[in-house]
Amino acid sequence: MTQKNSASTFAKGLKVLSCFETGRRDLTMAEVSRLTGFDRATTRRLCLTLEDSGYLQKEDRAFRLTPKILAMAGGYLTANDFGRSVQPVLNQFAEAFEGEIALAMRDGDRAIYIARSATSSARISFGFSIGSTLPLLPTAVGQMLLARGLASDVDLDLARLIPEKLTEATDMDLTSIRQKIERAASQGYAFVRNEFEMGAAGIAVPVGNIGASPAVLATTASINQFDKAAEFDRALDILRRAAMNLRL
């Protein structure tokens, strides 16, 4: 097998694994073939190879991920000292907020949660966890990540990213979205409400880099909670203090 073919096969295998990012418990070969665009023979070969490697297991006619997939993520978290330098800070400030706080980074055209803490008394939960992904344009997390880039990068992003109508309040106007990103850059935080999910609002602030990649801290709550100026200011203050306490 040539190096070119080997790299191509590896990329195809990763694409098969990415089919499970939506949270599906299991997928048949036909479903994997449809999601990846690979023909049936290629899909079968890739699924069986991933099964032999221990990343997939087959039950009846469907494949599902195995816990082995977490080893790679665990290596990343350990290498960046998340257990000692990140999680305790998130836990401390989640308690202060009596809600949830998440650390997110950009992954291509989306944001991904890389750490999260939530108290049992959190007034609202949207089911996010480490590895959950969010679109960039209609979320505070995404807009703050975009705001951390150069103006030329924002130009390229907005020329490529296509707004998706997720709720009746989702902003579909790229000029308006650009203004929100610029505002986030100038004021040091992003605030988005109802655009990703009706009834939900998010606040995000910048935090230091992890390696060469910018990160943001964010919290999500009901819009009623953040409609109160005192509650909004308190949440923003907690996020900013948490960001200052992180050493990334």
**Residues 51-109: tens digit of each pLDDT:** 999 889 998 889 998 888 877 777 766 666 676 778 888 888 888 888 889 999 998 89
- 142 neighbors 154 (Cβ within 8 angstroms): no
Q: Is the pLDDT of residue 223 over 90?
A: no
Residue 163, pLDDT score: 94
Average pLDDT over residues 192-200: 94
- Cα separation of 43 and 53, whole Å? 15
pLDDT, greater one: 181 or 69: 181
- How confident is the model at residue 1, as a pLDDT? 45
Average of pLDDT values for 178-187?
95
Instruction: Report the pLDDT value the prediction gives residue 248, as an integer from 0 to 100.
Output: 56
Q: What is the mean pLDDT of residues 162-176?
A: 95
Asked if residue 86 lies in contact with residue 248, where contact means CB atoms within 8 angstroms, the answer is: yes
Residue 241 CA: distances (Å) to CA of 32, 34, 65, 94, 246: 44, 46, 38, 12, 9
Q: What is the pLDDT of residue 130?
A: 81
Assess whether pLDDT exceeds 90 at residue 9.
no
Residue 236 pLDDT more than 80?
Answer: yes
Domain 3-66: CATH class, spelled out:
mainly alpha
Tell me what the pLDDT averaged over the chain comes to: 86
- Choose among 45, 63, 62: nearest CA to 8: 45
Average pLDDT over residues 31-49: 92
Each residue of 94-119: pLDDT tens digit? 888 888 899 999 988 999 998 888 87
Domain boundaries defined on the chain: 3-66, 72-245
Does the pLDDT value for residue 30 go beyond 80?
A: yes
d(CA 43, CA 238): 48
Does 124 have pLDDT greater than 80?
no
The fold adopted by the segment(s) 72-245 is Beta-Lactamase (3.30.450)
The pLDDT of 126-145, averaged and rounded, is 88
Q: What whole-number distance in Å separates Cα of residue 116 and Cα of residue 81?
A: 14
